[in-house]
Amino acid sequence: MRTTTATVLLAALLAGASPARAIIEGDGPVIPGVSTWVAGHDLHVDTRLSPALPADVLQRLASGLPTTVTWELRLFSFHNLWFDGLKDERRYAVTATYRPVTSDYAVERRLDARLLDTKVVPTRDEAAAALAKVTGLPFFTLGDHLLGKRLLVRVRCLYASGVALGFVPTSAETAWVRSGIFEWTASGAR
């Protein structure tokens, strides 16, 4: 009996200390939609957060601490009567850091932990905008094994992380949102 009470109490404390609480209450950002298009064999994805970023993330960015937003993207083959089949997944991370010597922000973009580029933006608003969107990067390469299959992309965004009770990792993230279903053919998507 004592163990059960302690377990329930610990679960209640963890639930109350989690920054993910904002998602359950519905006041966190959401992904309004996911756009996809094919150029050659490359599948491009475009999406954003709405509203852009919560106040605590903007406050972290303003404080000068490196602020990272991670986008998880998954490519599935669509099945009407069964679970969708996962074909590939990618992690796209954007980190913005204030540079006090030059009074600007460095925005670093990584795909699967590999550096894509680093650019400098003059204002915090531009840095926040870079964190809150994915702009048409080629995330997936479509091979012949996907020809004629119905495909879709699912995306979610991890925009804040923290620690509860000093040791339990927590996160604030959006729900998974999926793109429209499309079919890739030798002549492109339709």
pLDDT tens, position by position, 117-137 = 999 999 999 999 999 999 888
Residues pairing with 169 in the sheet: 163
Would the pLDDT of 23 be above 70?
Answer: no
Reported as a single tens digit per residue, the pLDDT across 171-185 is 788 999 999 998 887
168, pLDDT greater than 80 = no
Please report the pLDDT score of residue 187 as a whole number.
64
Closest residue by Cα to residue 154 from 101, 87, 103 = 87
What pTM value is reported for the model?
0.79
Task: Name which residue leads in pLDDT, 9 or 189.
Answer: 189
Number of separate helices (H) and strands (E) present in the chain: 4, 12
Task: Point out which residues pair with 42 in neighbouring strands.
Answer: 39, 141
Nearest CA to 109 among 74, 133, 142? Answer: 133
Instruction: Say yes or no to pLDDT of 56 above 60.
Output: yes
- Torsions phi, psi for 84 (to 5 deg): -65, 145
- Helical H segments across the chain, by residue range: 2-17, 21-25, 55-63, 124-131
Q: Is 154 helix (H, G, I), strand (E, B) or coil?
A: strand
Q: Given pLDDT bands bounded at 50, 70 and 90, which one contains residue 81? A: low
Q: pLDDT-based confidence at 158, cuts 50/70/90?
A: very high
Parse the chain into domains and list their residue ranges: 2-189
Q: How many CA atoms lie within 13 A of 23 on its CB side?
A: 19
